[in-house]
Structure formats: C-alpha cells, structure tokens
C-alpha cells in the first residue's frame, strides 16, 4: 500500500469550467437511472452532483456533469435516452458547481398531524426573511405525524431558531432547529419528561380521582403556580391527600394513562437509531416504570410512593425528583453511557424541566408553557 507521502489527490474542480445540468422528470420505473448514466458514460462525462427523488411514482432526477469536449454528442444522447424512456429532459449549460454554502447551515424539522401547506409556507417564509436558502427538503415520517426536514444554509441559526419558535407558537406546528454537521450524527442520550410530554395526562391527578381529592390537589397546584410553594413542597402536599388509598389502584391508573400520539413511534425510532432513551419524571415510579418497560426505555428516574399494609401513606420515599433532580439525572445517565452533555437531548414542557433543558446539548420544548418555549433550543 503506498505511503501517504506518495498519494496524490486529483485537482479541485475548476469553478469556471463548463457544466451541464440534466433534469429528468416522469413516471418512475426500473432502469431510468441506469439509462441516463449509461448515455453520459459514452462520452466520458464526470459526475459533480446528483439528486433523485420519487414522490407517488413520479421521479425527478437532477445530475450535474462536466460535459467534456463532446458536449453536443452528450446532449444528443441524453435527449434520446429521455425520449426512449418517455420522460421530459431539460438540459441547462452553465459554468461551475453549486454555490458554496458552508456557513449558517442548519437542519429545520417541522412536524404536525396533519402537516398543512400553511405550516410549510410559514417555515419557508421565515427562512427567506433571513436571506437564507433551502437546499433540500425530505420527508422523515408520514404517520401518526407528518415530519419534513429542511436543509438550510446562509442562516443566523440562533435568530432563525427564535423566529421559528414564534412561527411554531402561531401555527401549532412543532418546529426544531439545530446546527447542521457531523455533530448531529452518532450516539445520543434522549431524556424525556413524562406528564404532558410522553403521556397526555398528569399522573397525580389520575390518582387523586380515585382518592376523591381532585379539588385538593388542584388547589395545591394553583398555589405552586402562584409561587407560594416550590415543587417539593407542592408534591408533598398533593401526595398527602392520597393517604389510605389502596396501592392496587395504581394498576388502574396505569391502565388509564394515554400516550401522546407518536410517543411510541418516537421511542421505537430513537432505539432503532441506537440512541439511549430515558424518562425523568416528577411523577411516580409505580406508574412510570411499567410504561418504560413496555416502550423499551433504558433508564428511569421518578418519585416512589411509600406503601404500608397495602395502602399509600401519603408520603414519598427518598429524595424528590424536582427541577435540580431532573438535571442531575440527565448528567448521571450521560455519565453511565459515556456521553458528553453535548450529545444529550432533553424534552419537557414545564418550569420543572428548565434545568434539565439547559444542561442538555439540545433542549426541546414540547407542548410547553410560555416560560419553557422562551428558554428552550427548540
């Protein structure tokens, strides 16, 4: 094998060299791509760029070539190939490759059920208002939510993230913005809140329905929202209303929990990508752990209810999983997986999640309160 010193790289493409853009459109069928490249190979053309997509059986193939000295022969053979395939061929001669777009690159993900045209229009308008360019759009998922990803260049990423956050709030379309590059690839730890994030419910309220203490729990929650109680104080006060409730009721509560639409698909997709998934909840392990086991979640951190003689005592066991506790759990799970915090993602909806969202490499506000939307990355 030759040493690195003896290896020579080919020269950089000449930005002023003649190029030929081939755009082929029509009904997809086997052999289209091979026919086009076979036609181009007869005159020794080089490939500079290529993009192919099929939507509902309709193919669009774009190829940028260096035509060489036999450009007329090349255009004739490509035209004949297109005609033989029954497809439309557009040939555009020019100079150079695509303009370099190496700065301000971002990935913008838009998700809704259904994803409406005005959602995409609003995202595209925001990108255009920044003077940025959409280089590519692809669909990531179809059901139960439709998700598209836009490759954007020439953007001020923090400003674009802020403005698209406003678009998300106005349109109801979930939008995420992250810098593009290799850092988006590879192993990650994804940590999710549970109540009103992974699930549609608040577990303490479901338990309170069985205890007949919904009004008392709601009153404590209101005091906490007014700043009269911190999370730990409010948790202790709400759990106290559950004293004497048979522990078997928790099985009924678990059965009544409703997953957020797309939650199961999200966890399955993250796991298929090799990501580690964790749940961190200010709720209760007795309900959260069975959900985690069902979904194949790797780590769980939640509060534990004290039980005596088959009934709840109205107390929790151990340290409360509060706002600092959630951030601590994220750090602990990252250390267990050997990942830096820059490789972590946190997803949450409430003020109790803010420390966790701030500690993670990427903080995602999902179905979030205004204070969380303002401080999260997406």
Pair (269, 358) in one structural domain: yes
Q: Which residue has the tokens 């509560």?
A: 253
When pLDDT is cut at 50, 70 and 90, the band that residue 369 belongs to is low
C-alpha to C-alpha distance for 197 and 315, rounded to whole angstroms = 25
Mean pLDDT of 66-77: 88
Give the mean pLDDT of 183-193: 83
Distance CA 63, CA 88 (A): 14
Shared domain for 276 and 308, answered yes or no, is yes
The reply to whether 127 and 90 lie within a common domain is: no
Residue 3 domain flag:
no
Q: Point out the domain boundary residue: 60, 95, 130.
A: 95
Q: Are residues 90 and 230 in the same domain?
A: no
- Mean pLDDT taken over the chain: 88
Kindly state the average pLDDT of the residues 161-185.
84
Tens of pLDDT along 274-317? 899 999 999 999 999 999 999 999 999 999 999 999 999 999 99
Within a domain: 62: yes
- In this structure, the answer to whether residues 226 and 136 fall within a common structural domain is no
Note whether 286 and 176 are same-domain residues: no
Instruction: Kindly tell me the burial class for residue 105, based on how many C-beta atoms sit within 10 Å of its own C-beta (0-12, 13-18, 19 or more).
Output: middle
pLDDT, tens digit (0-9, with 9 covering 90-100), for 219-229: 887 777 666 88
List residues with catalytic annotation.
Answer: 193, 195
Helix (H, G, I), strand (E, B) or coil at 177: strand
Q: Determine the pLDDT at residue 378.
A: 58
Q: How many domains does the chain have?
A: 3
Rounded CA-CA distance 326/360 in Å is 11
21 in a structural domain:
yes
Q: Is the pTM higher than 0.75?
A: no
Spatial distance between the Cα atoms of 114 and 129, rounded to a whole number of angstroms: 25
Q: Is residue 100 part of a domain?
A: no
Q: 121: buried, middle or exposed (CB in 10 Å: 19+, 13-18, 0-12)?
A: exposed
- C-alpha to C-alpha distance for 118 and 73, rounded to whole angstroms: 45
352 within some domain: yes
Residue 98 pLDDT greater than 80, yes or no: no
Q: How far is CA 296 from CA 46, 125, 189, 190, 262, in A?
A: 48, 39, 14, 13, 15
What are 120-169's pLDDT values in tens digits? 999 999 999 999 999 889 998 888 789 999 999 999 998 998 899 899 98
Which residue matches tokens 């988006």?
A: 184
* Residue, of 1 and 356, whose pLDDT is higher: 356
Of the listed ranges 34-38, 92-96, 108-112, 181-185, the least confidently predicted one is: 181-185
- Backbone dihedral angles phi then psi of residue 312, each to the nearest 5 degrees: -70, 140
For residue 377, name the pLDDT band (cuts at 50, 70, 90).
low
What pLDDT, in 10s, does the model give residues 18-52? 899 999 999 999 999 999 999 998 888 889 889 99
Q: Are residues 238 and 205 in the same domain?
A: yes
In a domain, 10, yes or no: no
Give Dmax over CA atoms of the chain in angstroms. Answer: 90
Q: Do 229 and 204 have their domain in common?
A: yes
Question: Contact 36/88 with Cβ under 8 angstroms?
Answer: no
Which residues lie closer than 8 Å to 346 by C-beta, 6 or more apart? Answer: 190, 191, 192, 330, 353, 356, 357, 359, 360, 362, 363, 364
Residues 199 and 309 in one domain: yes
Judge if 141 and 265 occupy the same domain.
no
Task: Look at residue 288 in the predicted model and tell me its pLDDT.
Answer: 97
- On whether both 197 and 288 belong to a single domain, the answer is yes
- Last-in-domain residue among 142, 163, 182: 182
Q: How far is CA 40 from CA 9, 13, 46, in A?
A: 24, 19, 8
pLDDT on residue 5? 53
CB 127 within 8 A of CB 61: no
CATH of the domain at 159: 3.30.70.260
pLDDT at 10: 65
- 237 part of a folded domain: yes
pLDDT value for 100: 56
**Residue 289 is part of which domain span?**
189-375
Same domain, 43 and 67: yes
Q: pLDDT, tens digit, for every residue of 317-354?
A: 999 999 999 999 999 999 999 999 999 999 998 788 99
Task: Kindly report the CATH number assigned to the domain that includes residue 266.
Answer: 3.40.50.1000
In the listed set 65, 95, 125, which residue is the last one of a domain according to the structure?
95
176: pLDDT confidence band, cut at 50, 70 and 90? Answer: confident
What is the pLDDT, as a whole number, of residue 42? Answer: 84
Q: Is the peptide bond before 122 cis (omega within 30 degrees of 0)?
A: no
**227-259 pLDDT, tens digit each:** 688 889 999 999 999 999 999 999 999 999 999
Residue 9 lies in a domain: no
């Amino acid at each position: 094998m030759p040493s690195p010193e003896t290896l020579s790289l080919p020269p950089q493409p000449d930005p002023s060299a003649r190029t030929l853009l081939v755009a082929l459109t029509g009904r997809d069928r086997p052999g289209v791509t091979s026919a086009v490249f076979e036609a181009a190979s007869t005159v020794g053309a080089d490939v500079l760029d290529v993009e192919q997509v099929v939507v509902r059986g309709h193919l669009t193939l774009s190829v940028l070539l260096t035509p060489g000295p036999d450009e007329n022969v090349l255009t004739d053979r490509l035209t004949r190939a297109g005609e033989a395939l029954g497809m439309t061929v557009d040939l555009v001669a020019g100079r150079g490759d695509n303009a370099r777009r190496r700065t301000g690159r971002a990935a913008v993900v838009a998700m809704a059920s259904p994803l409406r045209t005005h959602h995409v229009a609003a995202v595209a308008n925001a990108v255009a208002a920044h003077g940025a360019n959409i280089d590519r759009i692809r669909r990531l998922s179809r059901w139960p939510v439709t998700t598209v990803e836009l490759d954007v260049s020439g953007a001020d990423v923090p400003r674009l993230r802020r403005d698209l956050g406003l678009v998300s709030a106005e349109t109801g379309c979930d939008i995420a913005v992250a810098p593009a590059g290799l850092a988006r690839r590879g192993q990650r730890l994804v940590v999710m809140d549970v109540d009103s994030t992974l699930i549609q419910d608040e577990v303490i309220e479901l338990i309170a329905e069985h205890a007949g203490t919904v009004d008392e729990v709601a009153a404590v929650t209101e005091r906490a929202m007014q700043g009269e109680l911190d999370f730990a104080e409010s948790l202790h006060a709400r759990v106290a209303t559950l004293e004497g409730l048979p522990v078997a009721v928790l099985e009924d509560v678990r059965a009544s929990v409703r997953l957020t639409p797309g939650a199961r698909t999200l966890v399955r997709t993250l796991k298929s990508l090799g990501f580690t998934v964790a749940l961190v909840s200010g709720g209760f392990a007795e309900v959260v752990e069975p959900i985690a086991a069902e979904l194949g979640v790797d780590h769980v951190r939640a509060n534990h209810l004290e039980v005596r003689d088959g009934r709840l005592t109205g107390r929790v066991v151990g340290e409360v999983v509060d706002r600092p506790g959630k951030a601590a759990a994220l750090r602990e799970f990252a250390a267990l997986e050997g990942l830096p915090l820059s490789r972590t993602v946190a997803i949450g909806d409430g003020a109790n999640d803010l420390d966790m969202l701030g500690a993670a490499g990427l903080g995602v506000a999902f179905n979030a309160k205004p204070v969380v939307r303002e401080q999260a990355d997406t």
